[in-house]
Structure 1
Amino acid sequence: MTDLAFENKDFLWGDNAGPVRMLSEYLHPKAELTKNGITDTVVVFGSARIPSPEEKAGNPNLNGLTPFVRYYEEAVEFARLMTEWACHWEKEFPGRNLHICTGGGPGIMEAGNRGAKLAGGNSIALNIVLPMEQHVNPYAVPELSFEFHYFFMRKLWFMKHCRGMIAFPGGFGTFDELFETLTLVQTEKKTKIPILLYGTEFWKKVINFPALAEFGLISKEDLQLFSFADTPEEAFSFFQKNIRLELTRKLSTKS
C-alpha cells in the first residue's frame, strides 16, 4: 500500500473516511463561492420532472405533464427578471450581489439556471448525485456548479447565502426542501427570509396549511411565514420588495 492517504480511493470511499467526505462537501463549495464573491442568493426549488417545452414536444410520453410545462416557462421568466434586477445591486448595496441558486438538475432547476443565463448572468447549481433523474443541466455555470453525495450538505449550501426561496410545484424532494426551510425559519435557526409558493392552486390542493394550524400542530402565526404567487411578475415584485427590506436591516443568516 503506497498511496498517500488523501489519494487512496478505497480509503476515501470507506466508512472511516466519512467525516473527510462530509468536510470536503463543506470546504470545497465554501472556497469556490468565496473566490467568486458570492454573497446572496434566491433559491429556486421545484420538480425535476417538469419538462421544458422543447422536451415535451419531442416526447409523447410526457403528455401527462402538459399542464405543468407552463411552470417551467414561468420559472425561466422569474429567474430572468431576478437576474436583471440583480445587475443593479452593486450600486445600491456595495459589496453585495444576488444570484439564482438551483439544485442544478433538470426541470424547474434547469429553468432557474436558464432564466439567469438569458439575462446574461451567472447562477449557482448544487447538484446531487442520484441513480436516476439528476444530471447537471446545460445552463449551469461550470465554476459555480457543485456535485454532492450528501443531501444534508447540499441543504446547508442552499441556505447559507439564501435571502429568499421560491418553491414551484414538485414532489417529495421539493416538499422536503420547502419544509426544511420553513422549519429553520420557524425555529429561528435561519434568519427570517421571504418564502414564496408559486402556483396557488397546486399548493393549496396538495397541502392544507390552515388545517395544521386548526389542529394546533403549528401556530396561526406560522401561516405568515410564506406567501403565494401565480405570475413571474408577481413573484419578482414580492422578492424585490422583501429582499430589499431584509438587506436594509442588514440581517444575516444563522445557518
Structure 2
Amino acid sequence: MDLLAYPDTTSLLLPVEDTEFLLREEMRPIRFALEFAKADLALKDWGVRSTVIVFGSARIRSKEAAAQAQDNAKTEEERKAADNLTRHTDYYEVAREFAQIVSLRGGAFAPRHRWRENVIATGGGPGIMEAANRGAHDVGAPSIGFNITLLREQRPNAYITPELNFRFHYFAMRKMHLAMRASALAIFPGGFGTLDEMFELLTLQQTGKALSAPIVLFGSSYWKQVINFDALVDTGMIARADLELFEFVDTAEEGWASLVRRGLTSAASPRE
C-alpha cells in the first residue's frame, strides 16, 4: 500500500511502527511489559539462569582514574574532590577482584549444559559497577549491565558484554530484573541509590517476597558508621534475626566465602 497517497498516514501505521502511539500515557502498561520482555528474552537466549548482583557508588574510581584527577586538579575544590576519590579506590579494586572470583568459580562460563549461573550483574554505570563488570571482563566472562535513563545521562561502562547491555526507562522494571534472578547480592559503599537498592532487597528477603539469597556488605567500617543496625533492633523496629540476612566483609575472598557458606551454589569454571 502506498501510504504517500493518503494525506494522514498515522492511522495506517502498524502499532509497532507508530512511535507517537507507543509513547502515549495510556500505553504505559505496554511499554512496561516491553521493558520486561526485551531483557528477559535476551538473558534466556544467553542461558543466564542466575546472577550475582553488585551494587555500589558510581563516584568511586580506580587508582589510575583517581591519580589522573589529582594531576588535573587546579582549584582547591578540585583537589578536595580528587582526595576523596583517592580515599575510596580500594573498594574499586576489591569489587573488581570479587567479580573475577565469582566469574571463575560461580558458573558464568556455562560448564553444565547451556545454563550460566552466578553471572555478574550491575547497574551498568561507572564506579563500583564498572569495577565489577571489569572484573568479569578480565577473566573473559560475560557480565550484565542494567542501565537507566537519567536526566544527566548515565553512560554504560566499557566492560559490559555488549549483548547484555540493557537500558531501562522505569526504575521499577530495572529493579525487578536486578532482583528476580539474583542468587546473591554484594553491596559496596554508596549513597542514596545504593541505600535504596539495598533496603528494597533486604525488605524482599525479610518479608519472603523473594527467594532466599545471601547478602554481603563490603566495607564493614563504612556500613557500621553510616547505619546503626543494632539501634533498629534495640528500638524494636526489626528483629534480631533480621541481622542474619547479611554479613559484613572486607576482602574479595571473605565475600565469596560468606556467600558460599550461606547457600550460594558454586559451579567451578573450566577457566579457573
- Same fold per TM (> 0.5)? yes
Letter in 1 for 2:31: R
Report the Cα offset of residue 93 of structure 1: 9.1
Letter in 1 for 2:256: F
Can you list the C-alpha shifts for 1:216-243, whole angstroms capped at 9, x where unaligned?
1111111111100001111121123334
Question: How many Å separate the matches in 2 of 1:125 and 1:182?
Answer: 21
Question: How many Å separate the matches in 2 of 1:246 and 1:115?
Answer: 18
Per the normalisation by structure 2, the TM-score is 0.85
Query: Is the 8 Å Cα contact of residues 104 and 136 (structure 1) preserved in structure 2?
Result: yes
Does residue 22 of structure 2 align to residue 12 of structure 1? yes
Partner SS for 1:58: helix
92 and 242 in structure 1: CA distance in 2 versus 1, 3 angstrom threshold: farther
Query: Is the 8 Å Cα contact of residues 52 and 119 (structure 2) preserved in structure 1?
Result: yes
Report the Cα offset of residue 98 of structure 1: 2.2
Q: Identify the residue that residue 190 of structure 1 maps to in structure 2.
A: 210
Report the Cα offset of residue 130 of structure 1: 1.1
Report the Cα offset of residue 129 of structure 1: 1.1
Q: Identify the residue that residue 150 of structure 1 maps to in structure 2.
A: 170
Report the Cα offset of residue 65 of structure 1: 2.4
Report the Cα offset of residue 4 of structure 1: 2.4
Query: Is the 8 Å Cα contact of residues 60 and 92 (structure 2) preserved in structure 1?
Result: yes
Q: Identify the residue that residue 115 of structure 1 maps to in structure 2.
A: 135
Letter in 2 for 1:166: A
Q: Identify the residue that residue 28 of structure 1 maps to in structure 2.
A: 38
171 and 134 in structure 1: CA distance in 2 versus 1, 3 angstrom threshold: same
Correspondence list, 1:167-206, <5 A = 167-206=187-226
Report the Cα offset of residue 55 of structure 1: 1.8
Can you list the C-alpha shifts for 1:56-87, whole angstroms capped at 9, x where unaligned?
12223332222111101110011011111124
Q: Identify the residue that residue 6 of structure 2 maps to in structure 1.
A: none
Alignment counterpart, residue 37 of structure 1, candidates 34, 40, 47: 47
Q: Identify the residue that residue 47 of structure 1 maps to in structure 2.
A: 57
Query: Is the 8 Å Cα contact of residues 148 and 174 (structure 2) preserved in structure 1?
Result: yes
Partner SS for 2:156: coil
For the pair shown, the structure with the greater C-alpha radius of gyration is: 2
Question: How many Å separate the matches in 2 of 1:244 and 1:59?
Answer: 38
Partner SS for 2:88: helix
Does residue 186 of structure 2 align to residue 166 of structure 1? yes
Question: How many Å separate the matches in 1 of 2:226 and 2:132?
Answer: 23
Report the Cα offset of residue 119 of structure 1: 1.3
Aligned positions, number = 247
Letter in 2 for 1:194: P
Alignment counterpart, residue 79 of structure 1, candidates 92, 99, 103: 99
Per the normalisation by structure 1, the TM-score is 0.91
Letter in 2 for 1:109: M
Moved over 6 A (4+): none
Taking every aligned residue pair, what percent have the same amino acid on both sides? Answer: 43
Query: Is the 8 Å Cα contact of residues 53 and 185 (structure 2) preserved in structure 1?
Result: yes
Does residue 66 of structure 2 align to residue 56 of structure 1? yes
Q: Identify the residue that residue 135 of structure 1 maps to in structure 2.
A: 155
